[in-house]
Amino acid sequence: MTTTGSHAVQDSSIHPVVAEKLAALGPGHPRLIELFNAVSAALKQVVREHHVTHEEYCQMVEFMFGVAGEGEMGLICDLILEAAVVESDYAASAGTAFNAEGPYYIAGSPRLDVPCRMPMRPDEGGTPLLFTGGVSDTQGRPLAGARIELWHSTHDGLYSNIDPEVPEWLLRGQFVADEQGRFEVRTIRPEPYEISRHGPVGRMLHAMGRHRFRPAHLHLKVSHPGFRQLTTQIYFDADPYLDSDAANCVHRSLVIRLDGPSQAEAGSAYGFDAPFLTGRYDLVLQPAA
């Protein structure tokens, strides 16, 4: 129904930036109307089926204000829905499985030169890790020069440019695969990621008797001309939260084994001064549509 769509566009309670984007779509945008109506029907169905009281509705509205006020909108959306969207939009694609981007990706991270070393503090906590791999197409042909963006949390669960406690761009970097499509990067192994216990999302999880953890993970975006950009995450086996990820993202094909810690020859170029872990993942890109 067109009227529903234009109402949504003109509603003055919509954030100005969002309203501007909606207006740019023009009136009667069919996809917007389809989704707006489907979401509103699904929510009304929940209200009827579960006999939602007015008090519960008010609590929900208050909760959403809290989420927005505490800067947790991205977090709650990705936590509840992104895994399902990724699964639906990238279903059964050849190549490496896609996985949620999460709320903390930032474009324009520092470009790293070989030997690649993620931006770290001199005393960066956590076990040193040498993460290596290759980038190829679905036929196994190496993709020389493929660009890899890597970002992850500190060992105590903070993302740079999000948490003011850590320096800008810490543990965020981008680099390119060599002539054989190979890459090596020195970083640290993140630990399981705990959603803040003080924010509304963390308190909601706690109220439901659920823990607030995601298994430790590395975020990656891999791109190469002529190929579909891959956004994914890598997990580590033996992680206690692989089967109960608060964001429900884990995919078996993305779980790797870490070897070590050892003080192997391979690390000398990177100046590891402590025993380090090694982990490898071979990334496979699918052709652009």
In one letter, which amino acid is 154?
T
* Binding partner of residue 78 among ligand MBD, Fe ion, none, CB cut-off 5 to 8 Å per kind: ligand MBD
The helix (run of H) or strand (run of E) holding residue 174 is: strand 172-176
Establish if 166 lies at the interface with ligand MBD (CB under 6 A).
Answer: no
> Residue length, the chain?
289
Token representation of residue 41: 């029907």
DSSP three-state, residue 217: strand
Establish if 212 lies at the interface with ligand MBD (CB under 6 A).
Answer: no
Binding ligand MBD (rule: CB under 6 A), the pick from 98, 104, 235, 281 is 104
**Closer Cβ to ligand MBD, 87 or 178, answer by number:** 87
Q: Of all residues in this chain, which one has the CB nearest to ligand MBD in the complex?
A: 102
Helix (H), strand (E) counts: the chain = 7, 12
**Closer Cβ to ligand MBD, 29 or 217, answer by number:** 217
Q: Are 159 and 214 in contact (CB under 8 A)?
A: no
Binding Fe ion (rule: CB under 5 A), the pick from 5, 102, 173, 192 is 102
Interaction pattern, residues 241-260, with ligand MBD; x per rule: CB under 6 A = ------x-x-----------
**6-25 binders of ligand MBD (CB under 6 A):** none
Establish if 202 lies at the interface with Fe ion (CB under 5 A).
Answer: no
List Cα–Cα distances, 198 to 67, 145, 192, 219, in angstroms.
11, 43, 17, 24
How do beta strands 276-285 and 128-137 pair?
parallel
* Residue ranges that bind ligand MBD, judged by CB under 6 A: 75, 78-79, 100, 102-104, 193, 214, 247, 249
